[in-house]
Every structure is written in structure tokens, then in C-alpha cells.
Amino acid sequence: MSRFQLQVTVPDELAGKRLDQALSSLCPEHSRSRIQSWIKSGDVSVNNINYKQRDEVSSGDVIAIDTKLQTIDKYEAENINLDIIYEDNDIIIINKPVGLVVHPGAGNPNHTLVNALLNFDNTLEEIPRAGIIHRLDKDTTGVMVVARTLESHTFLVKRLQERVIKREYQTVVCGQIIAGGSIENKMGRHPVHRTKMAVTSSGKVATTHYKVIKKFQHYTHLHVQLETGRTHQIRVHMSHIKHPVIGDPVYGHNKSIRKGVDSLLREIITNFKRQALHAFSLELPHPSTDQKIKFTAELPEDMIVLIEGLNKYDQAEK
């Protein structure tokens, strides 16, 4: 058992929310039931006053948490190879491979990144979600940070909420995008298909910036930077502007083959078996020094083959 202390300020977008709802948004690494138990126990205050979970918070309110943190979920350590980019006493930086689910859940009770991390460092069982600060989808590859201490975890979660941590991706999308741009709207659960996310009128603000790396005849290689980190954000935003990520099984699978594509290009695209999305860069302040550090992971082999195939096709067509 360890002590968990955190102080956060309520942003404008959470004004008017119930205390438990606001804290669930501000502390996504903790379950709603855990947060509600803290509130009931008097371990949460708002402007030094104890609130009930249904009480509403206002923009600028200071929420303080001071509680004993017990490990609720127990997961088995599994000997799964990890590609470690960097490690020290505070953090682990990994290059997540394709096909690895980050956290156990329905349909994936084990064989996840959490199980691999517990095998790599068994002290991570004392940290929420084994120290994982942010997630990547199962078939998205690339750089992730893991906190090795509760202090580092609290520090990094707060910096993520403050949008200090910079996450950059590369993706290949359908259609030609002429120039870079930004997408800003609200995202939430799809009103009908609840396992999907969608652009909605009442969701949370989501902002994505993108630049063109290279245009192909029917596809575009993009550099993407997240300002916010909503679930499936890049995939939803690219689909929203009618340029879904190649191979995306949820937001654009049937749109990956563009009209006018011949059999050779069709083969290149159909041979790519996942969404073409890679987290290639992560910049964050170090928990011990607050100094900015940056880590990168080169494109995985399957995306290199995809891009080379698109290049060769374009050259052959000239």
C-alpha cells in the first residue's frame, strides 16, 4: 500500500460536471468506483472543502486528493519480450509492437503490455495500470512511456493533462491531401455503436494537427501531432475529413481501396493488415529533473514496405 497525493485544477470544459465525473476525466488511470470511494472516505476536497460525489465543480476549482492507494486489480506477470528504448529509476520507454493490447479487458484478459511489464519489473504492481500513462491501440505501434514510481506516475499524468507531453505520429491515409492543417471539434461515444468513437456536439474537445510528408496518386503519408488524446482520435479525425487511415478496420476498412485503383495498387493495400499508424516520437519532461527529453521509434517494417510499394507504384506510372 502506498500514498497517493494529487492536486488538479478544473478546466473550463469540465465546469458544471459532478465531482466524480470531473475526477474521472482528470484521472483516467483510476476507475470511477475507486474515485467515488475516495470521495466517500473524505480523501478528496474541493478548495479545501469536502464535497459529495454529486456536487458540481466550477472552472478554476482546486481538487486535492490525499489517500492510501491499494492495488485492486491483480494481473499475472508473463514473459513477453519488450523493446526497451530507454529506462532509468523513474521511467521506461518502450516501442510497442503491432498486435499487443495495452491493458487487460473484455476479450483480452492476459497477454497484454501490463502482463509483460509486471514480468519486467514486479514493483509496477503497486502503480495504477502498471505505470502506463497513455495507451496505443492494439494494432498501432510506437513509443510509450511507463512510470516506475507513484511519484513519477502522478507527475506524468498531470503533465499529460496540461498538454506538456508531445506525441507525434506517422500515418498513411486514403486520398490525396494537398496541404497540412488542423482538425478541432468534439469527440465522444458513437450514439448508436457504443464501441466506436465519433465527432459529436456534446463530447470533449479534440485537436489534431497534420502535415504532408509525401503525396502519392491515391494516398498520402502524413506527420500528425496530437494536442489532445481522445480514444481513437487520429483515426476518427482522419475518417471525419474523408481521408481514413489505410487498413483501419473500424473507421475506414471498406474505403481503403480508392476508386480507379488498379490491381497492382490494390494488392499493395490489401497486403497491409492493420491501420497504418505509428507513434514515432514522444517528448516529455523527466519526472526527476523536469528537463525535456525526446524519444523516437523508427517506422516498423510493414509500414516501410507499404510506403516503398506506393513509391514504386507512382514511379512506374510516370
Domains 84-162 and 167-280+300-317 in one fold: yes
Nearest one of 313, 88, 98, 72 to 214, comparing CA atoms: 313
Q: Residue 194 above 80 pLDDT?
A: no
Tell me whether residue 137 is one of the annotated catalytic residues.
yes
Would you say 192 and 201 are in contact if contact means Cβ atoms under 8 Å apart? Answer: no
Q: How far apart are CA 318 and CA 297, in angstroms?
A: 33
Which of 143, 147, 144, 142 minimizes the C-alpha distance to 158?
147
> Mean pLDDT of all residues in the chain?
91
> What pLDDT is stored for residue 305 in this prediction?
95
Q: Is the pLDDT of residue 318 over 90?
A: no
Q: Is the pLDDT of residue 128 over 90?
A: no
Instruction: Give me the mean pLDDT over the 289-304 stretch.
Output: 97
The average pLDDT across 235-241 equals 96
Class of domain 2-69: alpha beta
Which three three-digit cell numbers place residue 106? Answer: 473484455
Give the torsion sign (CA, 292, 297, 299, 302): negative
| Candidates 137, 262, 302, 314; catalytic one | 137
**pTM of the shown model:** 0.82
Domain 167-280+300-317 has CATH 2.40.50.430: no
Q: Which CATH class is domain 84-162?
A: alpha beta
Predicted local distance difference test score (pLDDT) of residue 33: 84
Q: What is the pLDDT of residues 98-119, one digit of tens each?
A: 999 998 877 788 999 999 999 9
Higher-confidence residue of 123 and 255: namely: 123
Q: How far apart are CA 104 and CA 101, in angstroms?
A: 7
CA separation, residue 123 to residues 77, 113, 128, 131, 219 (Å) = 11, 15, 11, 10, 45
Listed by start position, the domains of the chain span 2-69, 84-162, 167-280+300-317
71 band by pLDDT with thresholds 50, 70 and 90: low
